[in-house]
């Protein structure tokens, strides 16, 4: 997602377009007229990832924060269709002529924040260390006294930023930890396994450019799907045999209103 829009750096936002669509959802903050007025004419000085968000830094210290959430795509080119295209940035003076924000379900958000708003809304109180950078010590310090179930805690972006529901299941399977294990019951050796598993899973998923699921909404571009879905060991494999132990049957449970998939044989714990 970020890779795709790196070519926007140095570009001046000539136009902010909101295509007319029949579907609902999708939020501009502030409301679109002001969003457009404040973004138009500004130059993009940097593009970076912040947890699950893409941040376009603008001159004058403003930030455009793009949150794709479930079915949003931030693309350097054509979207999968026009019926869910939510925003287009037309650029001048960059390698990229435009950025498209496409979002099927409309849970996505585009925000234009002043430096102080950005610090208040996305500061360390709201967003923990990045999952690819957090140390084992820091991970333990943040979770080891919590009574929450490890699967639920991994999804809390205040604890660490970047782990979503799909990867939480995959990480716990790799680490051989039961998803309902309370954080406070995790041993030092298990924390080490969890930390290594998290880095392995996330790095590989990034390398393969994410997972395109059955609905096909997530893609690298209009033409290209992600590559990680074929690596899934547990996610959406309920009823099928565990690929590691061959004995357990992958089981689906619900935790905090989200599906969790795990192997009851090779993932220990309650």
Partner DNA sequence: CATATGTCCTGAGAGC
Partner DNA sequence: TGCTCTCAGGACATAT
Comparing CB distances to DNA, the nearer of 153 and 194 is 153
Contacts of 31 (CB under 8 A, 6+ apart): none
Comparing CB distances to DNA, the nearer of 9 and 173 is 173
Minimum distance of DNA from residue 91's CB (angstroms)? 26
Instruction: For residue 17, give the nearest of 98, 126, 134 by alpha carbon.
Output: 98
Minimum distance of DNA from residue 21's CB (angstroms)? 9
Comparing CB distances to DNA, the nearer of 58 and 160 is 160
Comparing CB distances to DNA, the nearer of 193 and 232 is 232
* CB distance 171 to 163 below 8 Å: yes
Minimum distance of DNA from residue 15's CB (angstroms)? 25
Comparing CB distances to DNA, the nearer of 90 and 105 is 105
Q: In this structure, are strands 27-29 and 109-113 parallel, antiparallel, or unpaired?
A: parallel
Separation of alpha carbons 50 and 63, rounded Å? 12
Minimum distance of DNA from residue 219's CB (angstroms)? 14
Comparing CB distances to DNA, the nearer of 51 and 248 is 51
* CB distance 169 to 258 below 8 Å: no
Separation of alpha carbons 18 and 44, rounded Å? 19
Minimum distance of DNA from residue 153's CB (angstroms)? 8
CA distances from 262 to 138, 188, 254, 257 (A): 26, 22, 11, 16
Comparing CB distances to DNA, the nearer of 16 and 153 is 153
Minimum distance of DNA from residue 11's CB (angstroms)? 26
Minimum distance of DNA from residue 264's CB (angstroms)? 17
Minimum distance of DNA from residue 92's CB (angstroms)? 31
User: Contacts from 19-22 at CB under 8 Å and sequence distance 24+?
Assistant: 19/82, 19/85, 19/86, 19/87, 19/88, 21/83, 21/84, 21/85, 21/86, 22/83
Query: Site residues (CB under 7 A) for DNA?
Result: 23-25, 51-53, 67, 69-70, 83-84, 104-107, 121, 126, 146-149, 152, 155, 157, 164-166, 214-215, 235, 252, 254, 256-259
Comparing CB distances to DNA, the nearer of 94 and 212 is 212
């Amino acid at each position: 997602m970020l890779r795709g829009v790196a070519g926007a750096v140095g570009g001046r936002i000539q136009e902010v377009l909101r295509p007319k669509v029949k579907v609902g959802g999708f939020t501009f903050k502030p409301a679109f007229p002001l969003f457009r007025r404040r973004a138009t004419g500004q130059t993009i000085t940097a593009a970076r990832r912040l947890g699950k968000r893409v941040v376009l830094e603008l001159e004058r210290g403003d930030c455009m924060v793009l949150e794709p959430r479930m079915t949003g795509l931030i693309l350097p080119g054509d979207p999968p269709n026009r019926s869910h295209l939510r925003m287009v940035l037309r650029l001048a003076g960059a390698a990229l002529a435009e950025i498209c924000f496409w979002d099927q379900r409309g849970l996505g958000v585009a925000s234009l924040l002043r430096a102080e708003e950005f610090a208040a809304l996305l500061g360390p109180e709201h967003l923990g260390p990045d999952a690819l950078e957090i140390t084992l010590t820091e991970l333990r310090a943040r979770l080891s006294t919590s009574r929450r179930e490890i699967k639920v805690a991994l999804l809390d972006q205040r604890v660490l930023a970047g782990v979503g529901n799909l990867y939480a299941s995959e990480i716990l399977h790799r680490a051989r930890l039961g998803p309902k294990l309370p954080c406070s019951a995790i041993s030092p050796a298990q924390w080490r396994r969890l930390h290594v598993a998290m880095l392995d899973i996330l790095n590989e998923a990034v390398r393969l450019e994410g997972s395109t699921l059955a609905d096909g909404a997530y893609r690298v571009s209009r033409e290209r799907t992600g590559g990680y879905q074929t690596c899934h060991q547990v996610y959406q494999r309920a009823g099928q045999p565990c690929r590691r132990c061959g004995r357990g049957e992958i089981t689906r449970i619900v935790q905090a209103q989200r599906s969790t998939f795990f192997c009851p044989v090779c993932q220990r714990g309650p």
